[in-house]
Every structure is written in C-alpha cells, then in structure tokens.
Amino acid sequence: MPGIDECLLEAMRLPGARGAALVDWTSGLALGTVGEAPGGDHETTAAEAAELARMAAEHGTFAAGGDDLPPVEDVIISNGDSYHLLRFVDTSFDSSVFLHLWLGREEGNLALARIRLGEMAARLVLG
Amino acid sequence: MTVVSTPQPALPVRDKGAGRALSPMLTRLAEERATGVLVREHGVLHLAEGRVVHAESPLAPGLDVLLTAHGTLAAAAWQQAAARTAGPLHAAELLLRSGVLPTGALELCHLDAVYDAGYFALAPSSTPGRFRYDSAPRLGPLPSVPVVALERETLRRRLLLHRLWPDPAADTAPLIRADPATGRTPADPAGPAGPVTPGRRAARVAPATPVTPRQRAVLDRVDGMRTAADIARNLGRQAFHTLVDVRRLTAAGQIAPAPAAPAPPPPPPYQVTTDPDIALLKRLRDALEAL
C-alpha cells in the first residue's frame, strides 16, 4: 500500500509533471512535497494553493448535490505554460487535504492526469 | 447587486528572515540530535535523533481519537494494539505492520496529530520545559518531523489565528452562542462580550458571513460548557482546525467566550455574639467536669 511519498512519486511519473504536494487546506501546511514548485518554494505554493482549495470547498456554489458526496472533487487552473490540478482526498477520518499536481502544458495530458490523480488519492487513503 | 462579506485573510507564509526559535532548549536538542522526551506545560514532544516522532497534548485529540471517531478504525482494534505496546506511537506502528489501515491514511493521520499536538506543546508556557534523555523514542516506519519544521509551522499557525481574530480568549474558554447581528451574548445583553474596540464592533455588525458545513458542526456543539478542545475531541477533529473555525465564528459574531464565572461572594463578616448560647456553654462545662 502506498504511503504519502510513494503517492507523490507516482504522480511525478505522469507526463509533464513538474512538482506535486499533499497539502492541508485549513492550515496551508504541505505534508509532503516532491519535484519543483512555482517560484521555487513549496511552502508558499502550498499556502496559496490551500487558499484556492478552501474557497472551492467552502462555497456552496461548487458543492455536489448529494450529502454523501465530497463537496468538490478537483480544481483545475490552466495558464499559458502549465496546469495546476488540485484533487481533494476523501478520507474516512476528519481531515482537509488535497493533492496538488503541477503539470507542464506542452507535455502534460490534463484528462489523463485528472483520472490518475483521482485514483492515487483514493489509493492513498483506501489502500 | 453586491454581496459584501468580510474577506478572509490570506494564509500566512513564514517570514524567512525571522530566525527566532520557540524553545531554545528544543533548538539545542535538535542540534545535538537528542533522543528523549521533552515535557512542556501544554504538551509533550518525543524526539528521536533530533526529530519529532510523536507529540501529545491534553488540548489536542490523539491519534486514537482521530482514527476511531469516524469509524476509520474500530475502537477495539486500537485498544488491542495499545494493550500490546508501550504507547500510542508504537500502537500506530503495530497497526501499520498489521496492515489493518492503509499506509497513506495512517501516515496522514499521524502527521496531522504531530503538528496538532506540537502546536500546543510549543505554546508559551509559564514553567520551564524538562527533557528526559531516553532511548525509547526511535525513528520508526511512520514519518517524523524536523524540529525546525514543527517550530516554523507552529509560528505560522499562531499568525494565521491572529489574522482571523486577534483575541485568543475563545481558544480556551467555554463557548457560548452570540447573536451575529449585534454580537450580543445571552449572558451580557448590554453588548458584546469582552473589550470593544472600533474594529471589533465593526467586525461584529458586518453582514453575516455564511456558516460553512464544517463550521456548522462546531457551532452545533457550542453549549456554554464545551471549550474548543472539547469540541475537537467530540468531533474527532484536529484541535487547530477547530480553533480556526472558532476564531472565524468569533470574528463573525456567532460565538463568544463565556464570561468568567463571578467571584464567589465574600464570606460573611465575623459576628460578635452578645448573647452567648447558655445551653451550649453548660453542656461544655458539664463535659469538662466529667473528664
């Protein structure tokens, strides 16, 4: 069963992956990081990504309809040269974490990365 | 149309220029790669080779609470593991080896618990910390945290709470519901609890910010008796996460720290009796004579 580091390393094997992190969106703490971060600083990246994740998770507008569904699955940001994919990790215990994958736009495949990151998030906490 | 709500302050990023340590003793222990247990007023840090492998605080729910509160792990499974080992960290390692929990889930919960209890263990204290060199803590299969990372994160968390609402009174006091429109509490119908500054007043009468589902869970448990730590334990949620919601709900005027209990009435003044109890004195005399 994969731990946090194995999960992040697996994410880095996706085509175009530049960096990945497991981040708590309440505190902004990076619980694990691998690869590069935009601006070179994983801590700043984690705090800023956490802001975005929290906004998405807490605003009813973006929430799924059913009570048993996690409010939000993922948040996708695209810019001129990269994608940012934030995948919420649905844990059976109380937590507020997401996987953050930074993907180069040229080599990255957003659709594939989204599916794979979802599978990794599930394996991380479900085994 | 416009919707105005109090903007959420940004999550702080640490000031890299700030080199201050929270505990000079802890810094020294990390430098010498010490192994042992640091006991501070509000919590305990277990160090192995200068890294934090485990933390406990009476103010933060332990790994057992986090894992069992929502059925991730059956309480009986934790108790079995705890009975066979010499502490929560070893119980967690046993669970990891036995494979009853996914590795990622256990690592995540463990790190959450270390940073959560570590935050309180490193809180300012009125008594000096004590370190006991002890060979028991060791770097095991669960992730450990460098001392400097725990200190940095603790400082960042303090700053985050301060930005949400600068008054720490609600962190430790029993909490009561307040009327968000006025900031008035049932116990103090004349006005908001605590000292009022223009900034506070403005924040309290700001248009009601919507309460998130996670905040609602906290709000529902505010009963005039429970503190934030009690609510965290009741929810099986990290204490720091609960503090974030408590400070935000306080800023929104939804809750307030309960006013301190009134001082007990002064004892009645000593009464000079001008009319002694004759019967009592007679009984006393008789008793003395009978000796």
Instruction: Render pLDDT for B168-179 as a digit per residue (tens, 0 to 9).
Output: 999 999 999 998
Q: How far is CA B198 from CA B12, B64, B101, in A?
A: 25, 44, 51
- pLDDT, residue B188, reads 53
What's residue A104's pLDDT?
97
Q: For chain A, how many residues are written?
A: 127
pLDDT at B197: 47
Residues of A in contact with B212 (CB under 8 A): 58
Mean pLDDT, chain A, whole residue set: 94
Question: Which residue in the set A4, A50, A96 is minimally distant from B11, CB to CB?
Answer: A50
B185 — pLDDT class (breaks 50, 70, 90): low
Question: Percent of chain A having pLDDT more than 70?
Answer: 98
d(CA B94, CA B55): 18
Which residues in chain B touch residue A1, judged by CB atoms under 8 angstroms apart? 99, 102-104
Q: What pLDDT, on a 0 to 100 scale, did the predictor assign at position B3?
A: 55
Asked if B10 is an interface residue toward chain A (Cβ–Cβ < 8 A), one would say yes
CA proximity to B233, closest of B65, B93, B51, B87:
B65
For residues A105 and A76, give the distance between their C-alpha atoms in angstroms, rounded to a whole number.
13
> In degrees rounded to 5, what are phi and psi of residue B276?
-65, 155
Give bridge partners of residue A97 from the DSSP assignment. A24
Q: What are φ and ψ of residue B237, in 5° steps? A: -125, 150
pLDDT digits (tens, 9 = 90+) for B106-151: 999 999 999 999 999 999 988 889 999 988 888 889 999 999 999 9
Tell me, what's the pLDDT at B34?
94
pLDDT digits (tens, 9 = 90+) for A68-84: 777 899 999 999 999 99
Q: Specify whether the CB–CB gap between A31 and B108 falls below 8 A.
A: yes
Q: What is the pLDDT of residues A28-37, one digit of tens each?
A: 999 999 999 9
Mean pLDDT of all residues in B13-18? 59
Residue of chain A whose Cα is closest to the Cα of B114: A31
| Predicted confidence band of residue B20 (pLDDT cuts 50, 70, 90) | low
Summarised one tens digit per residue, pLDDT across range B228-265 is 999 999 999 999 999 999 999 999 999 999 987 766 66
Mean pLDDT of A42-66: 91
Which residue type sits at B267? P
Cβ contact A93–B11 (<8 Å): no
Q: How confident is the model at residue B167, as a pLDDT?
A: 95
CB contact, 8 Å: B69 with chain A? Answer: yes
Nearest neighbour of A26 by CB, restricted to B66, B103, B244: B244
**Structural domains in chain A (count):** 1
Stretch B184-201: mean pLDDT:
50
Whether the pLDDT of residue B201 is over 90: the answer is: no
Best interface-test mutation with A: which of B68, B107, B158 has the largest number of A CBs within 10 A?
B107
Residue in this structure with the two tokens 């990504």, named with its chain if needed: A49
Q: B232 or B4, which is more confident? A: B232
Residue of A nearest to B235 (CA): A94
Give tens-digit pLDDT for B139-159: 889 999 999 999 999 999 999
pLDDT at residue number B196 = 47
User: Which residue stretches of chain B are H helix?
Assistant: 24-31, 63-68, 75-83, 88-98, 103-121, 147-164, 169-172, 198-204, 213-219, 228-235, 239-251, 278-290
Q: Do A93 and B241 touch (CB under 8 A)?
A: no
B111 part of contact set with chain A, CB < 8 Å: yes
pLDDT tens digits along B41-58: 999 999 999 999 999 999
Residues of A with CB under 8 A from a CB of B: 1-4, 6-7, 22, 24, 26-29, 31, 43-44, 47-48, 50-51, 54, 58, 60, 71, 89, 91-97, 123-127
Q: B191 to chain A nearest CA, in Å?
A: 30
pLDDT at B5: 59
Residue B206: predicted pLDDT: 52
For A60, the domain range is 4-126
Whole-number percent of chain B with pLDDT over 90? 63
In contact, B237 and A94? CB cutoff 8 Å? yes
Domain at A84, CATH number: 3.30.450.30
Which residues, in sequence order, are CB contacts of B149 under 8 Å at separation 6+?
Answer: none
